[in-house]
Structure 1
Amino acid sequence: MSRILLFNKPYGVICQFGRDGLHPTLADYIPVPAVYPAGRLDTDSEGLLLLTDDGKLQHRITDPKHKLPKTYWVQVEGIPEETHLQQLRRGVKLKDGLTLPAEAQWLDEPTGLWPRDPPVRFRKTIPTSWIALTIREGRNRQVRRMTAAVGYPTLRLIRYCIGDWTLDGLTSGACAVREA
């Protein structure tokens, strides 16, 4: 039976086991031997990372042809209007082409959200808000580029779910092993 490990990656952790001397790595958090990441999260992103000991499952999770939905909680600078969410829903023109349509909706600040270290910068004169954004592709820094393209820079990015797997019940830095 295959194992899948759900890991709530903290801000600043790099998605590799090898040490770079600058950042904490997966080796500092993952106590399960012989699992490998199925995808990546940028160092400055947080949230759900899946690891597995099954190469076929790893491929199915990461292969773009399967278009596994990934939902992100995105704290943005400003308060998007419905027209901006519609742009995200239609697809956004980026330097590397038009994105696939996304699901986008306003989101109250997620309940039980852990503090980020270091904290997100706040400015007294510029409000922030949250959106839930679901995409089915995985371009480099795609969510950040999408929100910036519609005028709302990302301040904090948390991947909440991949397919049916979610962060529910996982605190920052925690992991849970499941059978796949």
Structure 2
Amino acid sequence: MTAPTPAYRITAEPDEDDLREVGGLGLWSVSSSKPNCGLKHLRDDDITTFWQSDATQPHSVSVQFPRLVSLMRISFYVSFAEDESYTPQELSLYAGNNINELQEIGQLELKKPAGWVNVPLHGADERSPLRTHVLQLMVRANHQNGKDTHIRQIKVYSRAQYTAKEPGMAPYTSLEFLSHSCVR
């Protein structure tokens, strides 16, 4: 299968200290799921549970945000050793303003992955975040030609905002406020 090469390129990862998980702000959906292996298992912070698809490929996981968000990274946990033919091998990432107007922004090929797969996201310029309402991870093929997919966890990250260092203080909302923090 030859897919068009998107203009998007995967680049170096952002610094961990600059990120915060924002998946709780969005509405998550999956293309299908087996009983007791649904969406809640994908976001429960437990790598022993997993989402399992239950239909023909491709399989997808989508998150829709009520407002435009700036995303820096998507991370998902997969384990070839535990899931074998259920492990994703070929994936695509899509983004857009709504679920019906998504554009492919990247492709991944995983070779027997074990653990967290971190995929940096960026806008038109590699230093800016990806600004979107919807982000979708699509599994196009599994290892060993498996039919259904297991993904154990998934998280999306944005840049961290400056926060107050002392309890009871309002969070900083800009660099200007941060520069005057010692006056507080």
- TM-score, normalising length: structure 1: 0.32
- TM-score, normalising length: structure 2: 0.31
More strand by share: 2
- Which structure has the greater CA radius of gyration? 2
